[in-house]
Amino acid sequence: MFYYDEDDWTTIYVRDDLATERLRDSVPNIVERTREARALVREDDYERLGETTATTEVHDSGVVLHFPREDRRGVIISLDREAARRLSAFVSQCATILQSPPPSAFEARSATD
């Protein structure tokens, strides 16, 4: 999990088994592409959908969630495929937490399956 703003990025959490030099070297490029990412459907295109609160990429071995905020800020979270099984509920819970100011004060909440 990474938080980024217009100028920098910060690691929020990385599992021990994923904390490698290759990941550390890859994150700056991932964050830069994320800053430039645009929603497939903008609110201006179809206002009935509303503002984009999250985007999802599903890969063979994991899922990446992006929670964009204003001013080229946001949060990137990766999950393994099993965790993504209940993706809809997870995205809703994350969006609720991320809407709580300030963005650097994340609060752990328990979820039930």
Compute the average pLDDT of residues 90-98: 81
User: In the chain, where are the structural domains located?
Assistant: 2-98
pTM given for the model: 0.73
With CA atoms as reference, report the closest residue to 81 among 68, 64, 93, 98.
64
- Percent of the chain whose pLDDT exceeds 70: 88
Helix (H) or strand (E) holding 32: helix 21-36
- Whether the CA torsion 85, 60, 29, 70 is positive or negative: it is negative
Question: For 41, which DSSP code?
Answer: S
Q: How far apart are CA 73 and CA 6, in angstroms?
A: 6
Q: Which of 5-14, 76-85, 86-95 has the lowest mean pLDDT?
A: 86-95
What pLDDT sits at residue 36?
87
Compute the average pLDDT of residues 17-34: 92
**61-74 pLDDT per residue, tens:** 888 999 998 888 99
What pLDDT sits at residue 101?
64
Please name the residues in contact with 110: beta carbons below 8 A apart, sequence gap of 6 or more.
none
Q: How far is CA 97 from the centre of its chain?
A: 12
